[in-house]
Chains A and B, each alone.
Chain A
Amino acid sequence: MPPIELPVANLTIVSCVRRNVGVACGGSASFHETRNLGEAGDMIDFTLNGSSVSLDVPADMPLLWALRETAGLTGTKFGCGIGACGACTVHLDGAAVRSCSTPVGNVAGRTVTTIEGLASGGALHPVQQAWIDHQVPQCGYCQSGMIMAISALLERRPGTTDDQLAASITNICRCGTYERIRGAVASLTVAADAEEETGDV
């Protein structure tokens, strides 16, 4: 797929999210409209939710705003802008990073996954499914970041214990959904343990 040029000022660009809940967008974002309005500056090229993108944005712009306003992916949230709350967490080469504190120039040539790209092959990511099964979100505003942070952690450490979870995840949930988060994560680590035991991993 050729790189897609996305303008700074124009906003109706990306439609990745599908209306049908349960089938979140898969690996490839569908960019249904592109227009390049501005002067061509330095383009930042990277892989976003499985697709190559080329964004015309200043290299020091935080990835958060490039995602939300240029790429049109508003699932990644702004909470504090200083790396203190985790609402803006995305995966950079598979690791959780706070996109408000990551200059978009730093992701050139790398792979970024947002909440919109976490599900794959038409199936929710296990963390997303567990979030539904355990009815975790309240207002939900922190949950994109929470899910991204925890999915990266579980990828790295499938048997994460309660204490490890508490030590690793510093995202804020103002609604206070922590008890449900613990329960949902426990259900996933139990599932992971069971798989390990049966050699099913």
Chain B
Amino acid sequence: MSDDLTTPAAPTTPPADKPVSQPKAPAVKRSRLRKWTRRAFIGAGAVTGGGLALGVGGIVFSPNRLKYVPEGTEGEGHLTTWIKITPDNRTTVLIPHCEMGQGALTGLGMLLVEELDADWSLCTVEQAPAEDIYANGYVIHAFLGEVGIGVPGFMERAFDFGSFKMAQFAGLQITGGSTSTRGTGVFGMRLAGATARGMLLEAGAEQLGVPMSELTARDSRIIHEASGQSATYGELVGRASALDLPSRPRLKEREEYRLVGTSQDRADIPGKVVGEAQYGMDVVRPDMLYAAIVRAPVPGGQLEHVDPAPAEAMAGVRRVVQLDDAVAVVADGYWQAQQALNALGPKFTDAGLGDVDTAGIRARHAAALDGEPLGEPPAEGRAVTAEYCVPYLSHATMEPMCATARLADGQLEVWAGTQDPLSTRGVAAGVVNLDKDDVHIYNQQLGGGFGRRLPGTYDYVEQAVEVAKVTAPRPVKLVWSREEDMRHGYYRPFVMGRFQGVVDDQGHARRWASRFTGGMADALEADPPYGIEDKDIQAVTAPVHLRTGSWRSVAASQHGFFSESFIDEMAHAAGSDPFEFRRGLLEEEPRHKAVLERAAEMARWGTAVPEGRARGIAIVESFGSIVAHVAEVGIENGTIRVYRVDSAVDCGLVVNPQQAETQIQGGVNFGLSAALFHEITVRGGAVENRNFPDFNMVRLAQAPRVNVSFVDSGGPVGGLGEPGVPPVAPAVANALFVLTGQRLRDMPLRLG
């Protein structure tokens, strides 16, 4: 077999030195971008009916803007604009981000409306059409240059590829914390809101005949306290739309916030309780056909042979489609298609990888680490060494992968749920060799993403387009079975780590050394926040067999488990309480320390636990937020049971507290499913897991009570969708050590 297990299909990472203005953008827009002025990226003007439209975007008011306006709304001018205020005093905010259930739309809308000082009950928040997202990355770039805000480190890479990172963060995180909130929100939405408020204040001054300095804006009104006069935004928009833009709108200080920081209902929820929300899976087009598909089970495998006859003989079947590495059956319904597919016996090659299995993968990772030994520990003190390992994990979104495509009259239309419609368009265009302008993406709600619907992972879209070539001009909806979804993920990588720690006679940590398989890009996550002088952390390249991608919380999920378990081992070696030991090492990190203390206090660390239970603690920083969990764990009938998790969170600013809370709670259950159950295993080169029974999930019976508390540090805005995940597994493993004396160093956690 081949020595190189790397599959060619892994998501690509664009080169870091790529310029911001991507050559992929159509020429006309590129020239706009080069000539950017403030006026070009913040534009304002009147709309039909006398309202104000304020736009923030690279292509606002560009000559071809109308091209991006949805049919029938040309005169409203709201396409690339983010705020529209109409004379009836209603405000509409358009958000160029996907909603995946993290409340990003509501959170971003709140940030804008806060600065606008509009009445939230008069505001509607909508998702911008797919084309709008196009401008995302550029927008942020412009803001930074314009208002002189420094580029935060985590966003630097975002500039390399337009909206990629933006969509990734938007997707994986949430309201109040995601990059959608951290990027678009902090630097974009707020500025847009403040700009509009400035214009309304100026219009108010003109209309009421008083100096602007005497006016205040509140609840969609401009108020002159001294005289008791006021005017609604609706009454002022006509005048405001004729004004020049304020040169430097004032952003509010946090102390001035009235809306941000209050719990608000999410606009997408009512549709989700009546079955009305439309996901990619629910798309119905006139004349649509359905397709089921099976791909070569071994990565890189090709279709060798298939006899289509058994399928073609079945009722409702239209066509058997042979792709390079897959077979699809097109039928009048998905069930017929899947039944017919099951009747086929396609032969696939195994790309020379047919003898790869989980044990072999593990051995290869171990061998890679053998090549980078940890070195001898210093003679003094007590050395602790350990080897940790985590398996491949599937995202297993609740909605299996699915896409609908129609190729007709030189135009390609795609309906799918993706975390970034922009790059989806490029992918789809590539399959049919069309200009991107002839490709239209209609983004649908996502039945979960967690990183599976990010750029580089749009194989389901590519397949749907391939099949649509055959069914053209009829549209076709390609639905993956759960089994197909489980076998063809972009998995959280298999990672192994070796650790060496030294504690001295006084119980102080003196050394922290680690070698882990992966890349140095993960070094940040692999470096714990503890103040240990002698740190030696190195990544070691190891073969990758399956396709890998970003899995909710990315590298922090494995490194959080490693580091927070190993520091626990060091604490026990030092004879210290694991909480006190950590706290002692966080003197230089006051935010971490405060979060750790809050979690301990919530869980009443140090007090007695019910018979047969124990507590474990862990703290991990990821995506700009610091989260500490204390898990209370027991064993029932030989099974690990987590009763409660007390969770302290410092995410800087909490935009929508009720959403922030539920994201952390969701993250705990997500992390617990991985801790207790998840393991993608490989045999004969292929993924063995098929469906939920062998990739089990936490359900109500296993879901712990989760208490969440936010620590207000005033720090920069951090994420919320992901940071709840990493500390779960180590907190549980640390509790199990106290309970059983067993140190579980492999995930999922299995009692010996």
B278 sits at the interface (CB 8 A): yes
A84 (CB) vs chain B CBs: closest residue: B692
Contacts of A8 in B (CB 8 A): 316, 332-333
B667 sits at the interface (CB 8 A): yes
Contacts of B700 in A (CB 8 A): 165-166, 169-171, 178, 181-182
Whether A9 and B332, one on each chain, are in contact in the complex, defined by CB atoms closer than 8 angstroms, is yes
Contacts of A11 in B (CB 8 A): 284, 286, 288
Chain B residue total in the interface (Cβ 8 A) = 65
Whether B276 and A75, one on each chain, are in contact in the complex, defined by CB atoms closer than 8 angstroms, is yes
Known A-B contacts A70-B333, A139-B101; A172 and B692 likewise in contact (beta carbons under 8 Å) = yes
Known A-B contacts A172-B697, A176-B703; A132 and B448 likewise in contact (beta carbons under 8 Å) = no
Known A-B contacts A80-B691, A141-B279; A176 and B274 likewise in contact (beta carbons under 8 Å) = no
Contact with B along A4-45 (1 / 0, CB 8 A): 000011011000010001101100000000000000000000
Nearest Cβ distance between residue A111 and chain B, in whole angstroms? Answer: 18
- Assembly CA distance A126 to B218 (angstroms): 36
Whether B398 and A179, one on each chain, are in contact in the complex, defined by CB atoms closer than 8 angstroms, is no
- Assembly CA distance A87 to B482 (angstroms): 12
Known A-B contacts A174-B448, A176-B670; A140 and B697 likewise in contact (beta carbons under 8 Å) = no
- Assembly CA distance A171 to B265 (angstroms): 25
Whether A179 and B692, one on each chain, are in contact in the complex, defined by CB atoms closer than 8 angstroms, is no
Query: Which one of B302-310, B352-360, B658-666 is at the interface?
Result: B658-666
Whether B265 and A141, one on each chain, are in contact in the complex, defined by CB atoms closer than 8 angstroms, is no
Nearest Cβ distance between residue B471 and chain A, in whole angstroms? Answer: 13
- Assembly CA distance A137 to B277 (angstroms): 11
Across the interface, A177 reaches (CB within 8 A) one of B265, B266, B662, namely: B662
Whether A139 and B333, one on each chain, are in contact in the complex, defined by CB atoms closer than 8 angstroms, is no
Across the interface, A78 reaches (CB within 8 A) one of B101, B266, B400, namely: B400
Question: Which residues in window 54-106 of A have CB below 8 A to B?
Answer: 58, 61-62, 65, 68-70, 72-82, 84-85, 87
Across the interface, B270 reaches (CB within 8 A) one of A21, A72, A166, namely: A21
B705 sits at the interface (CB 8 A): yes
Contact with A along B259-271 (1 / 0, CB 8 A): 0000001101111
Nearest Cβ distance between residue B260 and chain A, in whole angstroms? Answer: 17
Whether B274 and A124, one on each chain, are in contact in the complex, defined by CB atoms closer than 8 angstroms, is yes
B102 sits at the interface (CB 8 A): yes
Chain A residue total in the interface (Cβ 8 A) = 67
Question: Which residues in window 106-149 of A have CB below 8 A to B?
Answer: 114-116, 118-119, 124, 128, 131-132, 135-144, 147
A190 sits at the interface (CB 8 A): no
Contacts of B52 in A (CB 8 A): none
Contact with B along A139-167 (1 / 0, CB 8 A): 11111100100000000000000000111
Task: List 14 other contacts, CB 8 Å, given A74-B281, A78-B479, A115-B274.
Answer: A17-B275, A61-B333, A61-B335, A62-B335, A69-B334, A84-B693, A137-B273, A139-B398, A166-B703, A172-B699, A174-B396, A174-B670, A178-B703, A181-B700
Q: Which residues of B contact A (CB under 8 A)?
A: 100-102, 265-266, 268-279, 281-282, 284, 286, 288, 290, 315-316, 332-335, 396-400, 445-450, 479, 481-482, 658-659, 662-663, 665-670, 673, 691-693, 697-701, 703, 705-706
25 A-B pairs in the complex with CB atoms less than 8 angstroms apart: A9-B332, A22-B270, A61-B335, A62-B335, A65-B333, A70-B333, A74-B281, A74-B282, A75-B275, A77-B399, A81-B481, A82-B692, A85-B398, A115-B275, A116-B276, A131-B269, A132-B269, A136-B269, A138-B663, A139-B100, A139-B446, A143-B273, A174-B450, A176-B669, A178-B699
Name the 8 nearest CB pairs between A and B, nearest first: A75-B275, A176-B669, A141-B447, A140-B272, A139-B101, A138-B101, A115-B275, A178-B703
